Structure formats: structure tokens, C-alpha cells
Amino acid sequence: MKHRHILLSFLLMASAGAQADWYLRGTHNNWGATQMNAAGTNTVELTNVVFAAAGSIKFDRYGNWAESYGVGGLNGSNIAVGQGTWNIKFFTDTKNWSITSAASVNYHLRGTFNAWAEGTLLTRIGTSDVYESCQNFASGDATGGPRFKVDPNGGWGSDAVPSADYTVAAGWVKISFNASTKVIATQQNLAANCGATSSANSSSSTNSSSSTNSSSSIPSSVTSSSAISSSVPSIQFHLRGTHNGWLEGDLITTPSGTNQLEICRNFTAGDATGGPRFKVDPNGGWGDAFPNADQAASGWTKIIINTNTKTLVSTTTNLGTSCAPSTSSSAISSAVSSSSSSQVAADDFRARTMYFVFVDRFANGSTANDNGSNSAATSTVKSSGAQSEWKKYWGGDIAGLISKLDYLQSLGVSAIWVTPLVDNINVGNEGGYHGYWARDFYAVDEHLGDWALVDELDAQMEARGMKLVLDIALNHSNQDDQYEFGALYKEGAFLTDFASGKGSWYHANGAISDCGDTNPATTCNTEWDDPWSFRNKSLFNLTDFNHGISSNSIADQYLIDAALKWMDHGVDAFRIDAIKHIEPSFINRFSAAVRAKKSDTYIFGEWYNAGAGDSLSMSFLNERRGSELLDFKLRDAIENAIAGNITMINLSSHIISRPGAMNNFEDQQAIFLDNHDATRTSVYLQTTGATNRGAGKGMAPAFANARQNLGMALVMTLPGVPTIYYGTEQNSTWFTANGDGQVGHDPYNREQQPSFNQTTPAYTLISSLANLRKNSVAIQRGTYAERWSTADILVFQRQEGSDCAVVAVNRGAAATITVPNLCLANAAYTSVVGTDVVNVASGSGTFNLSQNEVVVLH
């Protein structure tokens, strides 16, 4: 989503216009016209714009008021700006803007503790807008008790806050000041140097009611539309953990996005019952603390919570002092000790459940865009038509996805991977409904929506704590032999095509396995395993980008800049299509470029058949080039186990092999059961026809659904980032054979979303396990240990510190087993899914497992 800045979105009401002279007008310059400076693609800015008092602005296209933009678009109302110094950007393509606090101000803490002198500077926390100081207010002065003000840049200007002195109790006080919102929060009655103390008012629900006074409210000059990240919750969230002896009073107050707060604390040690850890206690009193199990921490730790859902969003450990970035911190691409599981990243996708939406086939929110620029490529009969109709647009769009976000949130989804939203080909009687035939990486495909809808999707997802994952095809554009012949555009302007771009933009080495000749009867399938061939020849007839080896080619820079533009519109993570076929050094440069913009960007790629046992993909993964991979080999093993092709012993052996094959990054890989390039598991289990995995298993629908749900339970609880293909939660099926005779294969694995029923067994199972993953560090990043395995039964546990989860699956006949050496404490546990109760005593538990049952204990 948009990070650390205020971004206001509205529907585009006028054409974009060229990026030329744009002017900023406002109360700060008496509504004069100050020319803005170019700041990248479709962006102009002014930095260090000073507002001595709260005011407002507008953006003027020509400096003559002929075309101006504000709230609501063209000729809209004034945009509110708070008192302070701001960096202001305007995006000329979407007419959106951002207002961020300039970081060049020194904030002086002046009060009775230092006789109101300048020079005691508040310390900035990381790269946030929050500044902190710890001071001992021993007494007041002749005019009152202990108190203070914050004086930006000294000199007692009119910008000192609050307007009335902030009064505190005598003693050690920790002061937090948000430079963007001017919100002040305090923690009082602390021990020396602001350590926690039992003398703090821990018997009440808040710490001596001193967290905020009247100066803590958001200034009335800052409107709700311009202070998206600055709301102050009515509930006070206490951070309680080993860092403060589990006492109340350490309040989380720093805004970190819509309905989110953050805090930075140093966890130096654990206690008698475990390592460094914490919980969040809304309003104190241990009434509804979260997460359920203590959350592990280590060193300087940044914690972000969602105040609406009362959940932990992310925990970043081992940061530098005061949570400054550190080379040893837990970024996704950082090195991890082979002796332990990988650390938590700032935006840790292991705590998330990802949902893969095939946008054109999910939900139609607006029929007005169905035909796009080429009505011949839009089906009027959809699924009732022949195969050719399945290769056209059906009407799904961004508006439809927005309308179903509540459905996905109830499913437990916290990241949505969308098929490419970029503009696809506009000619021919087949459509780029899937998104992989790009013509303009800098534009939104007109069948799906526009930039304003992308921004609305971002805002709606951010409000729900969700992350947006964009599928991007860095390997190719569109076909080199038909339709638009590799034509490539940037914001509608033609750049090149296959004929004119050979050797510069594109490779021209033929297609993989063509043996270097033009005879279609000859094939050289060994080229699929030859690195030069699969990276320098085209994938089928898709025009192949020419990537640089030691530096960016012209195509590389085009693709990187496009990705950065999408990030400006809310993209948080990327799935790289056909990563096997891309020059590896470009993946290094691409990942570095997007992480320079957002350091915790999660990136994963599609390498068909990647996983433990595939040497080429594992060699790439272990070079740590900045991208994780979709684990196809684990997918195959899970499906083969639930289909009865291999035993559960075989499955567990494969799971155990993953850490060694992946250098202990197995929990960073995207794991899944269904996707858009293979027959759905539900179809494979039910059909008796040919599939891409051989003859189907011929199971009855109810039995097959139960088996598929076993598979999804494994996806949701094994090490990795769980990924659900749209419709799997409805056990979706389509049994038509494609042109290759494969039942349920492309395009028949891309059917319309069959239902939005929230009561199916698959939906409720996934929802329960997504909630467990969100709250259990053991499921997120714990070790895997097999505890029982037979041909039909597998019991394993995941453990991280004191957090433990045990999973039992049974595909065979009903059985009762007693499993030893469990990491669970003595207690009676009710399964997270279903109603089974398992009593654990002395590390052993007895499970009564029905056929096709899963039991999960936590």
C-alpha cells in the first residue's frame, strides 16, 4: 500500500495531460503560483513547503487557474494541510497527491526539567515521523508543576506545541511526539531512565491517565481525508512483555497506516518462563490480549498492530538502535543461520494467507468496461461457449474484486495476488484476459479498470490490513508472430516492436526447443534444461526481453520503472512470471530497485517444477538473488499423497528434505495446491479422464472434496507462504478436455468463480487455519518435526519458542493413535478445525481420527 505518506485518491475526471508546468497554490504563498519540479515519471514535487499555520492547497495545471485539481478532482475543493514543513508531490497521470513531513526539523523539548532551555532534542525513531525523549521531571517551577512543550527548531515560534503547557507527574517521563500529526503521548511514573516500575499505576486500566491530554487530539485543521494515517484510537493498547516485566503502561501510540499503530522497543532478555516476548493488552487488565500465544521478540523490535481487528500485523526483530535499519535485521533477503529458522521480516508474508485472483474470472463490478478497445476479444456466451470463448474476456474487473473484499477478509486472506493488471493487446479475436500478453506496462488494461480504481483497491485493502501482490511478466511482452507483434508502449506512446527492437529491446534467437531451425516437426526438448536456451530463446511465441548481464538494458530500465510506478499506486509485493527464463542478474537488480523503495517487499517467482529435488531451481534459489519461488515439488507431493499415489511417509520425507535443499529458507517459499497452469486438484481427484498428471482418480465428489481439504490443511500449516487459488475454497471443478485432451486444463482451469458461499467445509477450514497462522509464530516460522507417520496418517508439530502447534491428517480408515513427544503442555485441546478434543499428558496425546479428517491443536 502507500507507505509513510498521506495519499488521497479520487476518480479521474479529466485526461492526464502531458507532464509539463504544474504549480502549487495555497495559503502558504497567498495563493500565488509556485512552479513544481519534475520528480520522475508523471510526478512533480516541491520539498520543504512551510505552513506557519494550518491551511490548504490546490494544484494548478498552467498557473492561470484554467485547470486546477483538489479534493474531488478537476476544480475540486481545497486540500487541507496541517501546520508544519511538508514535501508535496502531485501525480499528473492520476491527479492524486501525497503530503509527507519534511525531516529537516530539530524538535527541542523544553520544560521545567531544563528550565525551558533549548538544546534537549527529541530522538527520531527509525525513519518514522515519531520522536522520543526520556526525562526526569523532578519538580515544577514558580508558575506551576512539572510540564513541557515541543519547540520545532527552537526560538519559541508560533509552531510550539501544545498551545498550553503539557502537565506531567513528577518523576521519569517518556515523551513521544508525532511530527506529522502533532500528537503527543506520554508514559509517566516510570523507573530511572524510563524503565518500567511496579510503582506505576498498574491497578487501573491505563497508566495514571497521563498518556495524552487535550493536546493529543488531531488538530482540527487536518481533515480526515488528509490524515489517513493519523487517527488516535479510543482504546489504549499496552505493550506488555519481558522488556517491562509484563506491566501495563507502555502504550502503543505511533500511527502506522489506517487502523494501525507501531512501537519500537529493545528486548534484551527473557524471563524465568521463556525468551524475549510480548503481548498487546487493549485497555489493560489482561481482558482481551493478543496474540493468543506470546509473540517472540529479539533485540530492538518494531511492532505494528491493527487497532480495528486487534491483531498483530508484523514484528521486525534485530534492528539497529531505536529500530534503525541494521544489516542483521530480519529483511526477507538477509542471511539466515543454518542452525535456526529464518527471522521475521518487517512485512512478514509467512504470517499472511495469500489468495490468487484470476481477475477476469472472479467478479464483474462494471459491465461498462467489458468490451474494452476490441469487442471481438470479449465473449458474449462465456462458459457456455466453445474453447475459443474461454480465451476471451468475461468481464471480471477491479471493481468486482473490490466488491468481494469482505468475502476474502472473512476467509482470512491478508494478501491478494492478482493476475497482471497492465494493458494487454488490443487486436485479434483472442484476448489477453489472463494479463500475460502485455503491450504497455505503464497503463491499466481497460477491461479491468483505471488508475483511480487501482488506488481505490489499494485504499480498501489497506483498510482491511491486506497487501496487494502484482503478477508481472518480466520475461516477455506479447506474441512475436501475430496480433501486435511484440509492440511495446509507455503510457500510450509507442516505443518498439519485435521487428524494430531485435538486439536492443528483444532477443531474436528463436523459441525454446525449436532446434534452431524453422521446421515445426523438429524439437529439441533438452533446451528446456539448458540455461542459455531457456533464458535467451523465447517462451513459445512470446517476444523475449533482452536483459542485461552486468547492467540494465533498455528493457530492464523500462520494466523496473514500471514496477516502481505500480508501487506508487499501492503494490506491496510481486510475483514474477516465468522467472526461470529471465537473466538471473536482472532479478538481482530488479529486487534491489523495488526494495530501495520499500525494503520489505516480498518477491516470489514461477519456476515450473521448482522445489527440493530440482537442481536448477534450487541452485537459483540458493544464490539468493532477491526472489523466492513457488514450490511446485511440494505441491506435487501433497497432491500425490491425498490422491493415494504415495504414502504419508513419502510426503513427510519430502517435507523434511526442504530445509537442506533451500538453505533453511523453506518457510519463505510460496506453497499451494491449485494454480492456473494445471488441472485443479478437485478435478484430478474426480475425473477418470486424462489430465496433465495422468489419468484422474475417479473419486466421488464428496470424498474428493474431503481429500482436497486435507491437502489445503497441509498447505495452511506447513512451512511456507500459503497460497489459495480462487475457487479452491469452493472446491471448484470444470471437466471439459482442452485441445490436448487434458481434462480441466488451460483454459478450463480458469472458470468463473462458482460461488461466494462462506459456509462450505473448505471455506471454514481455510478461514480457521488462516486465523491460526496469523496468531501463531510456530505456524509462521517454526520448525517441522514428524511425530507419527504411516501409509495413511501423518502427525507433525511446528514449534517456535514456547509456541507449539500439532497437526494430524488421516486419509485412511478410522484409527486411534497415541502420539508421544509432543511440544504441547498438559491440557485438553479442542481442534482448531472440527470439534475433536485431545488430552495431552506428559507429552503424549491420543487422537481418534476418522477417514479424511484433520485435527489441529494449538
Q: How far apart are CA 442 and CA 171, in angstroms?
A: 57
Q: Which position has the grid cell 473448505?
A: 762
Q: How far apart are CA 91 and CA 74, in angstroms?
A: 14
Q: Return phi, psi of residue 338, to 5°.
A: -70, -10
Q: Which amino acid appears at position 489 of this protein?
A: Y
Q: Return phi, psi of residue 582, to 5°.
A: -110, 140
**Residues 507 and 538: beta-carbon distance below 8 Å:** yes
Catalytic residue among 129, 556, 577, 639: 577
The DSSP bridge pattern shows strands 542-544 and 438-444 to be unpaired
The beta strand positions in 5-60, using DSSP E, are 6-8, 23-26, 34-35, 37-38, 43-51, 55-60
CA distances from 736 to 198, 358, 457 (A): 69, 19, 34
* Neighbouring residues of 532: CB distance < 8 A, sequence distance ≥ 6: none
**Residues 425 and 483: beta-carbon distance below 8 Å:** yes
45 as an active site residue: the answer is: no
Nearest one of 305, 299, 314 to 348, comparing CA atoms: 314
Nearest one of 535, 540, 512 to 524, comparing CA atoms: 512
Q: Concatenated DSSP letters for 257-284?
A: STTEEEEEEEE---BTTBSSEEEEEETS
**Residues 260 and 183: beta-carbon distance below 8 Å:** no
577 as an active site residue: the answer is: yes
R_g of the chain, CA atoms, integer Å: 28
- Which cell numbers in the block locate residue 73? 478532482
Instruction: Find how far residue 848's CA is from the centre of its chain.
Output: 38
Q: Concatenated DSSP letters for 484-500?
A: TTT-EEETTEEEE-HHH
Q: Concatenated DSSP letters for 645-702?
A: SS-HHHHHHHHHHHHHHTTT-GGGSEEES--TTS--HHHHHH--SEEBTEE-----HH
Q: Counting Cβ atoms within 10 Å, is residue 396 exposed (0-12), middle (13-18) or buried (19+)?
A: buried
- Which cell numbers in the block locate residue 527? 533446451
The beta strand positions in 170-215, using DSSP E, are 171-178, 183-190
Catalytic residue among 248, 497, 606, 792: 606
Catalytic residue annotation? 577, 606
